[in-house]
Structure 1
Amino acid sequence: MASSEDMVSLLDEQLIVFYILTLKLKEAIGANLCIPQANPIARPIPLGLYKYNSAFKPLLRSQPLPLPPPPPPPPLPRIISKFQEKISQARRDEASSHWVTQSIYRVPKSLRDVDQTAYTPKIVSIGPYHRGRRPFRTMDRHKWRSLYHALDRTGHDVSLYLDAARLLEDRARSCYEAPISLSSDDFVETLVLDSIFTLELFLGFAHGFQGLNYSPNDPVFAVRGIMHLLQRDMIMLENQLPLFVLDWILAVQEGCEPSSSYRVAPLALLFFNPLMPIEEILRPMVTANPPDDRRALHCLDLFRHSLLPLRTLLTPASGPRPSFPSEQSAPPVEIASPTLFSASRWLPIAQKRRRQLIHCVADLRDASIKFWRRTDVQFWDIKFEEGVLYIPRIFIHDGTKSLFLNLMAFEQCNFKCRNHITAYLTFMNNLINSEVDVGHLHDNEIIENLLGSDREVAHMFNRLCKEVVSDINDCYLSELSEQVNLYYNKKWNTWRASFNQKYFSNPWTFISLMAAIALLLLTALQTFYTVYPYYKKN
């Protein structure tokens, strides 16, 4: 009886243990499945219970606990994200830039503030910079008339020119410094319309507008007063078309091979001839087919080539740049050589500045320096010998100021240009301080003043070089300026000049001087003959 009771109690005890084990196992499994993601370690099952759950171990192994996802990276500081965005934009700008091919620039604000009117066209826009502005709408109608005349005269279809301009679109866009917001169709229209208008003016000026079927009373295409305004507008830096576009359109118009054509250059020089500040006989001629690296970039660059010989268009650091082809045959000019520029690089900056400064005409005259006109040379070829400053003649008219300012702006913007025009105008600005200086240069036939007032010429030269940065390592007149300053600093020259000006400026002072010298000699002779007999007697 006892044994059966013992068995019953033992069986009840096992059932209770099994029941407790089942509860503990259920609690452990539930705790493992419901723990938070951030804490993957759950409450462990007591080790003492593992001896009872050997039958459930395969079940636990078949259900591994899920791994939590990696935590998100901490957010970047705002300044770092801003810098990364700016750097990405700079990378895109660098990839899309065309620094080497740019040649038509926006005039810097520092230069434009000096004279707004010198850089802004008045009646006609050429190229995309000023396209569509209200002051040019009247001339835009005449551009369409020029296109009609060209198509009617040649019998061509307009699609021929549109296809040619479409081929040149990307290359032409890369020539402009400022971004062009025009669509592809608008830009192609600008190239065709402005090219035909420019070529009609060039051809009509060279061969006569009546030969191009224009009326003698045409308000634009006739040689009259408006032509001078057109010339002034079309030589401005912001009002340019690439010269290769004009060559290509002219070649298509005449049925020539576009790639080898260079016929626009002589026509352009003839058209802009009235703006020349020099004598026409000194300008070089144009060769027919120069190599690509010797061709001008646009009409303003072509005009600059015609003023300077080949040697002055060479850049010491980078070799020859696209220059005027016929200047190879120009006579050698004795200007500062590249070795002089390289030697001057080691001078202190203050000394380099002093080498470029020179006194005005009135002060140099006080040091007995004379001013003579130099003939048969270009206007920039200045020479100083034995106290005489030889300066070629320069013509000043109402378009000279705008012309010189745009030439200097082009030299300031184009890294391949040497600043010979800037150096020349800086030298003349130092020479001219007042209308008295202009009057003396005019009396010596150095300045041909067509403005009518010496004061206006002095004011023009004094404002030309305002806000212009002159390269102290690239000035072909530095050595000449130093020679003039050395001559000026000799006191004997100043005394001699003062004596000459005081006693030889007019005949009356000269007669008074001669009378005083004669009186002094007679007094000396009288004294001699008075004293001499006394000493002879003794």
Structure 2
Amino acid sequence: MSDSLHSQTAGSGCYSDHAINVGTTEGSIATGIGFCIFRVPQCLFESNQSAFQPNMVPIGPYHHGKPQFQKIQEHKRRFSIDLINRANQGRDKLRHFAEALKPMEEKIRNCYSEALAFDSDELIGMMVLDGCFIIELFCKSYGKLAGHTDPGYDPLLTQPWVLPFLMRDLAKLENQIPWFVLKALFDLTVGSWNESHPSLSKLALSCFNRTFHRPDADAVLTKYSDWEGEHLLNFLRLTINPDSPETKQRPNKHLHLIQPATKLHLAGIKFKRTHCESFMDIKFSNGVLEIPGLRFDDILSSLFLNFIAFEQCHRGSSKHVTAYATFMACLLNTPADVGFLCDRMIIEKYFGTYQQIAHFFSNIGKDVVFDIRRNYLSQVFQDVNAYSEKDWRVRWAGFKNTYFSTRWSLISAVAAFILLVLMTIKSFFAVYAYYRPPS
């Protein structure tokens, strides 16, 4: 990863038959065709295939019809019927849903970065079935709606591990359907008969918050209950982005990637855990690097990878998650760096070893385009380097870490200083007595 801008070269094979070329995506946006659902670039896909492919439930066209997902199709149909029954509508409503989505077909196709090999009826039927499944899953998970079925009695949700796996699949880039499809189906069903009903955004956040840890989940629900995204993955990404905007910095000798956490500590920088709405809200002031706590688990690692893949493919997207991941990759270069931040409760380890966490962050930035001059953390990169590169601070910090890092080293240093003072006094009186002997 270079200091200013690193990108994938044309001959590296990053974009193979599995991926859509980013250049094509940019051109399509310029002409008004807003691709927002992509195949993951091959260079990212190969590093961690399980993070990008659905494990339990396929959503949308990219993984539709694969034989390993035949069983879940039965649950999708059952969830769709439950949704219709919840809204007290006849079963033929599925046909009316398809008729409502039919005028959106071209708009739906234009959301995907590759041509879809499905005819009109197949595509619209897929959207209806998958959309109804997602909405009913949110309703069952929310558990406070009139006519709801307790998820503990649902054949699919009886085991606690199922919901986290389902939610992780719903937050994968290749496993998306457009948000406007979900919104249309939501308005035709549960949103049409009860004005006090929670919004689609609130239902989605409530469900994801059960598997994705947030410092202040209630504040997130309040703030984002009326927000929308291009799809579920992007909606989630927007809810973790900090309020800091992307800024473009002028070339500066201090604007480059920072040192690992242990080296910054030796250079005199202090690390402090803070509590913010977004765990990406990093600040630096007066030698103190303030970083919100990060609960690292397998769900968060999957989200990170898919957020970054989306940001890399979508021209109009901010690159906040990419910038955050790059910053953390700089800090967490070795297992010792991970342990250092864990000791300060900045990293909460719920998955993997120190070595695995360091390996995850060191790999997350490979084959990823990152412009250090244009991101929301560019000023932090610059200020941290400017502070840590001053020679007197480095020497003083090294002295403190050598002689005052622990209680025993402090006691030893104080004892040595007292001994030095006593020896100096003794030498002074010996010399004084030599030149001025007592009478």
* TM-score normalised by length of structure 1: 0.70
Partner of residue 136, structure 1 = 69
Offset of residue 309 of structure 1: 4.7
For residue 148 of structure 1, what is the amino acid of its counterpart? Answer: I
Q: 3-state DSSP class of the match of 2:271? A: strand
SS in 1 for 2:290: strand
The letter for the 1-side match of 2:341 is L
Looking at both structures, which has the greater relative contact order when contacts are Cα pairs under 8 Å and sequence separation is at least 6? Answer: 2
User: Which of 256, 266, 272 is equivalent to 2:192?
Assistant: 256
2:290 is equivalent to residue 357 of structure 1:
no
CA contact (8 A) 1:266 1:286 kept: no
In terms of mean alpha carbon deviation, does 273-282 or 298-307 score higher? 273-282
Q: Corresponding residue for 1:397? A: 297
Q: Percent identity?
A: 35
> 1:433-460, CA deviations, whole angstroms, 9 ceiling, x for partnerless residues?
1111111111111011101522221121
Task: Find the partner of 2:324 among 407, 424, 447.
Answer: 424
Instruction: Summarize deviations over 1:320-352 as a string: whole Å, max 9, x none.
Output: xxxxxxxxxxxxxxxx6x4xx1x52xx3xxx68
Aligned equivalent of 1:297? 230
The CA deviation at 1:285 is 2.4
1:13-412 mapped onto 2 (5 Å cutoff): 99-153=32-86, 154-156=88-90, 157=92, 158-207=94-143, 211-213=147-149, 216-222=152-158, 224-254=160-190, 256=192, 263-276=199-212, 278-281=214-217, 282-283=219-220, 285-286=222-223, 295-309=228-242, 312=245, 338=247, 341=248, 344=250, 347=251, 355-412=255-312
Task: Report the counterpart of residue 328 of structure 1 in structure 2.
Answer: none
User: Are 1:520 and 2:383 matched, yes or no?
Assistant: no
User: Of the candidates 340, 350, 353, which is equivalent to residue 450 of structure 1?
Assistant: 350
Deviation at 1:280, TM superposition (A): 2.8
Query: Aligned partners of 1:255, 1:301: CA distance in 2, in Å?
Result: 22
Q: Which amino acid aligns with 2:361?
A: F
- CA offsets, 1:290-315, max 9 Å, x none? 7xxxx311111110111125663xxx
What's the counterpart of residue 18 of structure 2?
none
- The answer to whether 1:504 aligns with 2:435 is no
Q: 1:390 is paired with a residue of what secondary structure?
A: strand
Query: Structure 1 residues 438, 96: closer, same or farther in 2, change over 3 A?
Result: closer
Q: What amino acid sits opposite 1:444 in the alignment?
A: R
Query: What residue is the counterpart of 1:475 in the other structure?
Result: 375
**Distance change in 2, residues 1:430/1:133 (3 Å):** same
Match of 2:389, as an amino acid? N
Q: What's the CA shift string for 1:44-89, capped at 9, x where partnerless?
A: xxxxxxxxxxxxxxxxxxxxxxxxxxxxxxxxxxxxxxxxxxxxxx
- Equivalents in 2 of 1:95, 1:422: separation in Å? 23
CA deviation vs aligned residue, 1:75-129 (integer Å, no higher than 9, x gap): xxxxxxxxxxxxxxxxxxx999975322111111121122111111111111111
Amino acid at match of 2:209: N
Call closer, same or farther: CA 1:96–1:184 in 2, change over 3 Å: farther
3-state secondary structure, aligned to 1:384 = strand
Contact 1:265 1:286 in 2 (8 A): no
CA distance 1:471–1:262, shift in 2 (3 Å) = farther
Q: Secondary structure at the match of 2:255?
A: helix
Residue 487, structure 1, aligned to residue 350, structure 2:
no
1:262 and 1:510 mapped to 2: Cα distance? 59
Question: CA 1:361 to 1:272, structure 2 compared with 1: closer, same or farther past 3 Å?
Answer: same
Q: 1:508 to 1:159 in 2, by over 3 A?
A: closer
Task: Report SS of the residue matched to 1:194.
Answer: helix
The 3 A distance-change label for structure 1 pair 208 and 453 is: farther
Spell out, residue by residue over 1:184-226, the C-alpha distance to the aligned partner (whole angstroms, 9 max, x if none): 0100110110011001101111126994347744331457211
> Is the contact between residue 209 and residue 222 of structure 1 (CA under 8 Å) also seen in structure 2?
no
Question: Which structure: larger Rg?
Answer: 1
Aligned length: 405
What amino acid maps onto 1:138 in structure 2?
K
Residue 434 (structure 1) aligned to one of 334, 347, 352: 334
State the Cα deviation string for residues 3-47 of structure 1 (Å, max 9, x = none).
xxxxxxxxxxxxxxxxxxxxxxxxxxxxxxxxxxxxxxxxxxxxx
- Stretch moving more, 241-250 or 463-472: 463-472
The question of whether the paired residues in 2 share the 8 Å contact of 1:209 and 1:221 is answered with no
Q: How far apart, in 2, do the equivalents of 1:104 and 1:383 lie? A: 32
Segments of 5+ residues of structure 1 without an aligned counterpart are 1-93, 313-335
Alignment RMSD (CA, Å): 2.8
Q: Which amino acid aligns with 1:229?
A: F
Question: 1:413 aligns to what?
Answer: 313
User: Who is 1:333 aligned against?
Assistant: none
C-alpha contact (below 8 Å) 1:277/1:396 kept by paired residues: no
Cα drift, residue 494 of structure 1:
2.2
Q: 1:535 to 1:378 in 2, by over 3 A?
A: farther
Aligned equivalent of 2:364: 464
In the alignment, the residues of structure 1 paired with residue 200 and residue 216 of structure 2 have an alpha-carbon distance, to the nearest angstrom, of 19
| 1:188 alignment partner AA | I
Partners of 1:481 and 1:287 in 2: CA distance: 29
Q: Are the equivalent residues in 2 in contact too, given 1:284–1:306 (CA < 8 A)?
A: no
Give unpaired runs (5+ residues) of structure 2. Answer: 1-26
Deviates further, 509-518 or 240-249:
509-518
- Aligned to 1:371, the other structure's residue is in SS state strand
1-structure distance, mates of 2:46, 2:65: 23
SS at match of 1:355: coil
